Every structure is written in C-alpha cells, then in structure tokens.
Amino acid sequence: MQSITDIDLGTKKPSSGKTITLEVDGVAVSVPEGSSVMLAASLAGHSVPKLCSTDTLEAFGSCRLCMVEIEGRRGYPASCTTPAEAGMKVRTQSSRLGDLRRGVMELYISDHPLDCLTCPANGHCELQDMAGAVGLREVRYGFDGENHLHAEKDTSNPYFTFDPSKCIVCSRCVRACDEIQGTLALTIDGRGFASKISPGQNQDFMDSECVSCGACVQACPTATLMEKSVYSYGQPDRVVETTCAYCGVGCSFKAEVKGNQVVRMVPNKNGHANEGHSCVKGRFAFGYTTHPDRITKPMIRKSIQDPWKEVTWGEAIGHVASEFKRIQEKHGRDSIGAVTSSRCTNEETFLVQKLVRAVFQNNNVDTCARVCHSPTGYGLKTTFGTSAGTQEFRSVDETDVVLVIGANPTEGHPVFASRMKRTLRGGAGLIVVDPRAIDLVRSPHIKADYHLQLKPGTNVALLNGISHVIVTEGLANDAFALERCDPAEYQAWKTFVSQAKYSPEEVEQVTGVPADQIRGAARLYARQGNSAIYYGLGVTEHSQGSTTVIAMANLAMATGNIGREGVGVNPLRGQNNVQGSCDMGSFPHELSGYRHVSDAAARALFEKDWNVTLQSEPGLRIPNMFDAALDGSFKGMYIQGEDFVQSDPNTQHIEKAMSQMECVVVQDLFLNETAKFAHVFLPGSTFLEKDGTFTNAERRIQLVRKVMPPVAGLADWEITAEISNAMGYPMKYNHPSEIMDEIARLTPTFAGVSFEKIDKLGSVQWPCNEKAPEGTPTMHIGGFVRGKGKFVLTEYVATDERTSRKYPLILTTGRTLSQYNVGAQTRRTANVVWHEEDVLEIHPHDAENRGIKDGQTVEIASRAGKVSLSAKVTERIQPGVVYTTFHHPDTGTNVVTTENSDWATSCPEYKVTAVEVTPVSKPSEWQEHFREFTEQQEELLAQRVVSKP
Ligand code: SF4
Ligand code: SF4
Ligand code: SF4
Ligand code: FES
C-alpha cells in the first residue's frame, strides 16, 4: 500500500543517461532509454490503469489492466512490460481499451468481497481506485460460482494481517520479498484459479522464513496485507518525514499520523539510505514511544534507597545545577562529567559536550562509541585521515567482491543487507570472516565463496595472512600504493607481512582457518575489479580492535580498493547516531570534527565563540570515570540516554562504581538499569517528539522531524540548555537548527551544513563545505584526507583473555534482528515474540561433552562473573566457541564479559571471554541479586511522591 503522499510511476526509472523521445496521447515525452511505455505515459502525465506493477519492482505483466494501443502494432500490449522506443506513438485511452480494462476489472471484482465501507484500505485501495479509473459500473458475474471469499485470514504476525479473500494474486508481495528484501519467503502456490500466495510451504507468516520487514505489505495494492495498526486506528490524516531511531543505516520514514497517534511508519521511497525499504524495527516497533513504562515527570531522590519524588522541571534542573556545583566545589573541577547518547540528535549531543567543556570546565565527556566503534575512529583516522567510513551504501551496487568481517548485516543492518544481497545475487564474490555461520554464509541464491571461521580474537593474524598472500603472490597494486601512500611505509609493510610467521600455514595455527582458504580468499579480494570491506563490532570489540581496523585499511590501500565507487572500508555503525555523536565531539580528547583538545587553534575557535577558556588535556573515558568513582574522585554524572549498567562489560564493577557517586542524573525514556542508580531522573523525548538531525554510517546527515510534542514537555536539547542556564552559562536556542548553525560555524567538515540545505537536498554527507557544497558521498577520491595514506605495521598480539582448564570455551556476543542493543525500546514492543530471552548457542560436541541438552538451563562462568540462561545446541557456532546476545537485562550477559579492552581506545573486548558452561537448575547469585534490586527499585518508583497535576 503506497504512502498517502507517494506517486507511483508504475515501473522503475532506468538510470541511463541517454534519452529517447516518443509520443503518448499526442504529447511528446523524453524518457531514459530502457523505460517502459507505462513510465513514459506517467511522465507525460497520462497514467495508465495498473494493478500488478509498481515503480519499486520489476514489471511482471500479469494483470493485463495496463493495455495500450501502439501505432503500427497489433493487439493491446501491456504498457508495463513493453519498452518505450524512439518515435513510438502510444494511445492510453480508447473505447476499445476501456471495454477491455472493464472486462479485466469485472473478473477481479467478481472474486473480491465488496466490503469497501468497512475495509481498512477504504479510500486508499488500488483495486478500488482502478475500478473507478476504468469506469466499472456493473459486475455481470455473481458471487455464486467458485471464489475465495471465505479464505481464512492469517493474523499470526503481530504487526500485519494476511487476508487471502482480498488477494488478487498480483504477486507484488512475492516480488517485493524477492527483489527488495531478499528473503524469498513467499511463493505463488497452485495454478490458475487455484493459485494463492503462500508464505513458506503453506505455513502462516509467523512460521515461515518471513522477517517482518513489511516490504510485501508496502507493495500490496489491496487490504490483503495490511498493518494491524490501520485496522485499529483507521487511515492516517497527516504525514511527517523523519529518520529511524534504531540503527546506523538511517532509514527515512514517513510517519503517518492521526492526531498525535502514529498509525504507521512507511519507508520513504525517496530516502537516500533506504530507498523505500525498512526492517521490522523501524517499520513496526514504534510502540515503545507510548508505552506505559515511560516516565513523564522529572524525579529526584536523596539516595538510591529512597522512593522517588516527582518535581517540576524547574526544581529538577535547579537541583541538578546546585548538586553539580556543590560537588565541584567540594571535590574539584574534574569530579563530574557526562555521557552523550548515540540515540539522541547531533544537536543534543553537541550541547552535552558543550556543557561539559564550557560549563563543567573539564573534558570528562564520552559516548557509547567508546564501547563499539572507537577503534574505527582511531584506525581510519590514522591511515586515511578521517574517522568515518569511505562510501555510501549505494556503492555496494558497484562491488565485485564483498568482504564481510565481524558483522552480521542481515541482523544488525538489515536494510543495507538487502541491498548487499542484491549485489551478491547478481554474482559478486563473497568472503565472510566470522566465528559463526551467519545468514549471509548461505541464504537464498547466495553462498559465500569463503567462510573463514576463525577463532575469536585472531582477526589481525588472519588479515596479516591475507596480506601475506597478496604481497608474496604479486597481487598488490603497487602503482596505486606508491602513488597514494608513503612509499617507504608501504615497503616496510610489505616486508612486515611477508614474514614467514604470517604465511597461511602459520596463520592457520593461530586462527584455525585452513591455509588454502586464506589463500583463496586473498586471491579473490585482490582480483581486479572492485573489492569492498564491510565490518562491524566483531572487528572493533577486541583487544586489537584498532589494529584490525588499520590492517583492513592497509589491505584496501595495497590493492587500490579505495577512493572510488564500489570499494572502500566501511564500518557498519551500530546506533542510529553513533557516527554523529562522535562527529559532535563526544570523546574526551576531541572537539567536534575530530580535532584534538590539545590543538590550540581549534580550541581558540571554540573559546571565542563560547566566550570561555577550554582545557587542553583530554578528560576521562567512560571506564576511567568508573575507576575514578571507585577511588572517590568522581562524584557526579549526567547521562543522556545511555544504559551502560546493562551495555558495558563487567556489570558488577560498574554497579559498584555507580553506587559510590553522589549525584547521578539520568535523562531517559524509561527507568532503565542505569537509572536504578540515579538520584535525578529527567524524562527524555523519543525521536518522534523533537527536531534535529541524525548521521548514519555513510556520514549522511538527515532530518528528524517533530511528529508530536514531547510527552514530558521538553525535548532533550532543551533539558541540557536549561541545566547550563541554571549553572550560570546561558544557552539560548529557539530551535535545533540554530545549534546546527553553531556546529557548522565551528566544524570545518560541517561548514556547509544547515537544516535548510538538508531539507532541500533530502540529506547531506559530510564533509560538506566550500569544496563540496552538496556533501561527499565517496571519500579519498584522488588523494587521502591526511595527504599520503599511511601504512602501519599490525603485529598480531594474542589477547590476555586466554582459555584455560577452568575456562575452556570462548564466549562471543552479538545481537538479533528483532531486538535492539539493550532492548529498552524493542522489549517494549511486540518484537519480543521473536526473542523473548537471550539464549546461549553451543556446538553439539561441546554440549554433549557437558551433558547439555537443547533448551536446558546452563550457567556461563567467566573470570568476571556468572549468569544462567537457556542453551541452544546448534552447528551455527564452531566447537570451542559459544555465543549469546545481551538484549535482556535479567540475563546479565555483561556480568560475564571482562574489562579487557582495545589498546588504543579502551573499547571493551566483548567478543572474547574465556568461559565454562555447565548445566544448572537455578539463576546465578548475580541474577538473584538483580531480581531483588529490580523489585526494590520498582517498588521505590511505585511509591513515588506524585506531583499535583
Ligand atoms: S497479497 Fe497483495 S500483493 Fe500479494 S498477491 Fe495478493 S494482492 Fe497482490
Ligand atoms: S514481511 Fe518482508 S520478509 Fe516477510 S514476507 Fe513480507 S517481504 Fe518477505
Ligand atoms: S535498518 Fe536500521 S534504520 Fe532501517 S528501519 Fe531497520 S533499524 Fe531502522
Ligand atoms: S500493470 Fe501491466 S500487466 Fe499489470
């Protein structure tokens, strides 16, 4: 079903730069070569009736409603499948065409329930529209014959229904699932009159392979596939374009709204990151925004043992300001700090770091990127000169070989994964480096050429092995590397990787990946054409995370796979605005635009604009803040939408640190795990309740538009500004666009960015400045941002986290499609049906050795702690390795993970924890403590002193 504002041109618009001219109903029209007659007619302003075609799918030609007459041709060809030709003369209307089309419509309508008045699609149904368009006035065939009117409805999916009685078997849903989503969950079962749409093998949607992306619902021209929310609320009456607040793909949506009720989120066809596609989270999982758990009044309490007290915004802000001032007076300037949120907008994170630097007068600010992609920032800045990915998503269309390392795009970045799968189905080579057999390794019409199933923690050794093959077999692109990089450094790198210790045979000993596979993968990556690297947290969350990023950059430079479409080194960034929060200066050592705080010229710019003196020494990173809290020197913290008690490693260490502080201020939607240690709770706003921008993994800045007022009265940027005002430093902004103007004024890579420009262009990829006024889709064309590309030697150093007799297995963690990170949002939606609990994947051999059966409760024990959860025995995981997710706080996965971290950035080594797994029958001690503490905190919330309305 189209969005209420979309125009459907009928068939896809080819990208050909060459145009041809033809005549439609006497109107001359020029169209790109390869266009259909239907598209030409649409562009000439003469739309042709249609049912089975839509401009997001390949034409199929099954409904025959789009017949036209073409001068010099016999019959009535279908305009959707007939290519437009130069000089063609097309007629879209004639009395004969009218009769034929009415005949087609009659057949459809004679097998369609005529319940239009009570149908959820009433007024927005293409079948209804077409009946009107062809002038259908009567249906000669009654409903007495065989029909599908009583076909049973499938309501198994929590978000949409499938009502086969309304199905016209146009196959748009099947093609959407194949072409757009790439899951191939739907088929047409049977032939002729008996043909029907079938998920999987005649299963219902929930039992099929369907991943609930909604592409079929979007494509369906009738109410056959329909959002349940439209059944509940009726048709929306207004539309607001905004950006998804889940992952770093940054899908653009049209929020379709009735009053202040979001009826549905429709992926935006014109969205530059998603081009009309979505996943189950952005498309359907917005119910958390109105969940009763949301806290909508500011609250304070003296200690975490006290009940909360609701207060006015004025009281809450005043309390925060006076507490922070008191703490600084008593414990010194550096005794407080803040953490910015990668879920909040650029403008909001910018203000928090400004608060810290200009008002707290220190640099104690950090962000969750510390625990995910900080090594990306370090590694890419060191080698290329910019702390960000090199390409736009569209680039993968031009890729010949895709190397996916430490990322699971179909679960973590699903909309980009669908695009990548199109390239792979088109024949691109695929190398997957992952300890697990992720979906990409084998999915419909896709099979990885190489799945390098390495031991967790050995990425650097493997990449050095691949580099060894490339260099020693003469596969490097010397001309490119010598021209674009420092020749001496390049030569030193070649000598380094050529060492015998990085030969495939030696590397096999370390990684467990057979030497011939290393050789094959290296040859495939280095073969001529475009090779692109896509990576995720399986690269960064290691003790050598930064080294691995550097090793990938070396590989790209050595093979000339950088600086054009189809290549590059591309981090699949996690949270919706993790790129933005880093860009905005959320790290303790960097001002916005990645300028070190020790850079006097950069500091001077800010000092002049902000009228303050800034500190030149980097502040505390998140783990240092916890350590300082434990040693008594760090006492106050302002946390903007971040739940590190659940998300950061070694939970018990963090809990102790949090308990030591005097004023913990949490600004969030829910009383999350971190908020249970808070003294002040400031109710935050969802992405639907504010204006601003998010920056996705492609460096693409997109607008977030207010759909409704903030339920607690203030948007997050307003809260930060109020704290600053109360602390005596005025922050006066009328609108977030003014904050972006300040960012642009102070940040060279953002110099040309403004809300007005983003609104006009749809999105802007930084750098955007005088040199690139409309932004930069591809980085490092013709030269690196840092000048010469820098090769850095990447010695493999094994992690300190070793397996032992006591802890013989390696635990690695990741996430699922339906849940998002700590699950604060997705757990409060119907998405829980797909992932009700975290489970531990274990290989059958390891399970058998330990007497573990599928579904049994087991305990994972590490040097840091123990938790219990259910086991899932599966061959997806290799022997010696176990895997789980961290979406549910009561699992406490991060009780087990340790404090080992990346040498350069302190990014935790989530991906490697030595553990033992044993069958148990009860929760762990920590889990018991967690349950009691949660009950106590929920009770304290329930007992809160409620403010008068
Ligand atoms: S479910 Fe909708 S899209 Fe699929 S065949 Fe039926 S009418 Fe067409
Ligand atoms: S929701 Fe997505 S995955 Fe499921 S059947 Fe429809 S298109 Fe396929
Ligand atoms: S892929 Fe990411 S940005 Fe797109 S809809 Fe899903 S969660 Fe949102
Ligand atoms: S729209 Fe052309 S055949 Fe259906």
- Beta strand 401-405 with 531-535: parallel, antiparallel or unpaired? parallel
Ligand 2 atom 2 nearest Cα: 213
Confidence of residue 5 (pLDDT cuts 50, 70, 90): low
Residues flanking ligand 1, CB < 6 Å = 167-173, 197, 219-222, 224-225
pLDDT in the model for residue 832: 84
Distance in Å, CA 259 to ligand 1 centroid: 30
Ligand 2 contact, 216 CB (< 6 A): yes
Ligand 3 atom closest to the Cα of residue 274 is: 4
Peptide bond into 514 cis (omega under 30): no
State which of 281, 579, 825 you would mutate to test the pocket of ligand 3, scoring each by most atoms of that ligand within 8 A of its C-beta: 281
Confidence of residue 117 (pLDDT cuts 50, 70, 90): confident
SS3 labels along 615-671: CCCCCCCHHHHHHHHHCCCCCEEEEECCCHHHHCCCHHHHHHHHHCCCEEEEEECCC
- pLDDT digit string, tens, across residues 40-67: 999 999 989 999 999 999 999 999 999 9
pLDDT in the model for residue 89: 96
- pLDDT digit string, tens, across residues 451-510: 999 999 999 999 999 999 999 999 999 999 999 999 999 999 999 999 999 999 999 999
Mean pLDDT of 875-891: 87
Adjacent-strand bridge partners of 91: 69
Distance (Å) of CA 330 to CA 333, 624, 625, 719: 9, 20, 18, 25
Contact 267, 292 (CB under 8 A): no
Q: Which amino acid is at 132?
A: G
Name residues whose C-beta falls within 8 Å of residue 122's C-beta, 6 or more positions apart in sequence.
116, 128, 235
Which ligand places an atom closest to the C-alpha of 39? 4
Distance in Å, CA 831 to ligand 2 centroid: 15
- What gap in Å lies between CA 502 and CA 520, rounded to an integer? 15
Contact 530, 567 (CB under 8 A): yes
Distance in Å, CA 415 to ligand 3 centroid: 6
Which ligand places an atom closest to the C-alpha of 443? 2
Confidence of residue 141 (pLDDT cuts 50, 70, 90): low
Ligand 4 contact, 175 CB (< 6 A): no
pLDDT in the model for residue 3: 55
Ligand 2 contact, 214 CB (< 6 A): yes
pLDDT in the model for residue 42: 95
Ligand 4 contact, 51 CB (< 6 A): yes
Taking all residues of the chain, what is their mean pLDDT, rounded to a whole number?
Answer: 92
pLDDT exceeds 60 at position 830: yes
Indicate the range of 112-116, 348-352, 793-797, 912-916 predicted with least confidence: 112-116
Distance in Å, CA 277 to ligand 3 centroid: 9
Residue 360's nearest CA partner among 720, 745, 739, 737 is: 720
At residue 908's C-alpha, the angle toward residues 906 and 911, to 5°, is: 145
Residues flanking ligand 3, CB < 6 Å = 244, 246-247, 249-251, 274, 278-279, 281-282, 414-415
Q: Residues of the chain with pLDDT > 70: what percent?
A: 98
Residue 247's nearest CA partner among 509, 572, 606, 543 is: 572
pLDDT in the model for residue 144: 63
Provide DSSP, 72-123: T--S--BTTTSBP-TT-EEE---HHHHHHHHHHHHHHHTTS---GGG-TTTT
Confidence of residue 145 (pLDDT cuts 50, 70, 90): low
pLDDT exceeds 60 at position 4: no
pLDDT in the model for residue 948: 67
Ligand 4 atom 3 nearest Cα: 61
pLDDT exceeds 60 at position 588: yes
Distance in Å, CA 376 to ligand 1 centroid: 44
pLDDT in the model for residue 554: 97
Look-up: residue for tokens 């498309």?
283
Distance in Å, CA 179 to ligand 2 centroid: 11
pLDDT exceeds 90 at position 115: no
Four-CA torsion 305, 306, 310, 314, nearest 10 degrees:
-90
Confidence of residue 143 (pLDDT cuts 50, 70, 90): low
State which of 217, 218, 243, 247 you would mutate to test the pocket of ligand 3, scoring each by most atoms of that ligand within 8 A of its C-beta: 247
Ligand 4 contact, 78 CB (< 6 A): yes
- What gap in Å lies between CA 562 and CA 543, rounded to an integer? 26
State which of 47, 65, 92, 104 you would mutate to test the pocket of ligand 4, scoring each by most atoms of that ligand within 8 A of its C-beta: 65
Adjacent-strand bridge partners of 639: 339, 666
- pLDDT digit string, tens, across residues 654-680: 889 999 999 999 999 999 889 999 999
pLDDT exceeds 70 at position 326: yes
Distance in Å, CA 51 to ligand 1 centroid: 10
pLDDT in the model for residue 363: 97
pLDDT in the model for residue 466: 97
Return the top range by mean pLDDT from 97-106, 375-384, 493-502. 493-502
760/822: higher pLDDT: 760
Confidence of residue 142 (pLDDT cuts 50, 70, 90): low
Residue 247's nearest CA partner among 825, 790, 656 is: 825
Tokens standing for 611? 């009228």
Look-up: residue for tokens 């504002």?
5
- What gap in Å lies between CA 54 and CA 215, rounded to an integer? 12
- What gap in Å lies between CA 512 and CA 462, rounded to an integer? 10
Confidence of residue 148 (pLDDT cuts 50, 70, 90): low
pLDDT exceeds 80 at position 908: no
Start-end of H helices in 543-642: 545-558, 578-583, 600-610, 622-630
Ligand 2 atom closest to the Cα of residue 180 is: 7
pLDDT exceeds 70 at position 848: yes
Contact 614, 732 (CB under 8 A): no
Indicate the range of 9-18, 239-248, 611-620 predicted with least confidence: 9-18
